[in-house]
Structure 1
Amino acid sequence: MAELLQALLLDIPEVLETKRLTLRAVGTGHGAESNAAMAESFEQLKPWMPWAKQMQSPEQSEANARETRAKWLAREALDFAWFRKDDGLLVGRGGLHTIEWDIPKFEIGYWVRTSCARQGYATEGTQALVDFARDVLGARRLEIGSDARNMPSRRVAEKCGFTLEGILRQARRDNAGQLADACVYAKTF
Structure 2
Amino acid sequence: MRPNEVEPILLQIPESLETNRLIIRAPQWDDGQLVNEAVKQSIDELRPWMPWAQQLPTLEESEVITRQGRVHFMKRSDLMLYLIHKRSGAFIGSSGLHRIDWAARKFEIGYWINTPYAGQGYITEAVEGITRFAIDSLQANRIEIRCDARNVRSARVAERLGFAKEGILRSEKPDVSGSLRDTVIYAKVRGHEF
Fold match by TM threshold 0.5: yes
Partner of residue 28, structure 2: 27
Partner of residue 113, structure 1: 114
Deviations 1:1-29 (A, max 9, x none): 35351x22111111110000011111211
Partners of 2:54 and 2:133 in 1: CA distance: 30
Name the Cα RMSD after superposition. Answer: 1.1
Partner of residue 168, structure 1: 169
Partners of 1:77 and 1:126 in 2: CA distance: 16
- Kindly report which structure 2 residues correspond to 1:30-179, keeping only aligned pairs within 5 A, or say none: 30-179=31-180
Partners of 1:42 and 1:176 in 2: CA distance: 15
Q: Which amino acid in structure 2 is aligned with residue 187 of structure 1?
A: K
Q: In structure 2, do the counterparts of structure 1 residues 115 and 168 end up closer, same or farther at CA, with 3 Å as the change threshold?
A: same
Deviations 1:114-165 (A, max 9, x none): 1111100010000111001000000000001100000110000111110111
Q: Which amino acid in structure 1 is aligned with residue 127 of structure 2?
A: T
Any runs of at least 4 consecutive aligned residues in structure 1 with deviations exceeding 2 A, and if so which?
1-4
Q: Which amino acid in structure 2 is aligned with residue 113 of structure 1?
A: N
Partners of 2:44 and 2:176 in 1: CA distance: 11
Q: Which amino acid in structure 2 is aligned with residue 46 of structure 1?
A: R
Residue 80 of structure 1 deviates from its aligned partner by 1.0
My pick for the range that moved more, 141-150 or 168-177, is 168-177
Q: Which amino acid in structure 2 is aligned with residue 12 of structure 1?
A: I
The unaligned stretches of length 5 or more in structure 1 are none
Q: Which amino acid in structure 2 is aligned with residue 114 of structure 1?
A: T
Partners of 1:56 and 1:89 in 2: CA distance: 20
Give the TM-score taking structure 2 as reference length. Answer: 0.94
Partners of 1:106 and 1:4 in 2: CA distance: 16
Partners of 1:160 and 1:137 in 2: CA distance: 19
Partner of residue 185, structure 1: 186
Partners of 1:163 and 1:106 in 2: CA distance: 15
3-state DSSP class of the match of 2:33? Answer: helix
The unaligned stretches of length 5 or more in structure 2 are none
Is it true that 1:11 corresponds to 2:12 in the alignment? yes
Partners of 2:74 and 2:87 in 1: CA distance: 29
Size of the alignment, in residue pairs? 188
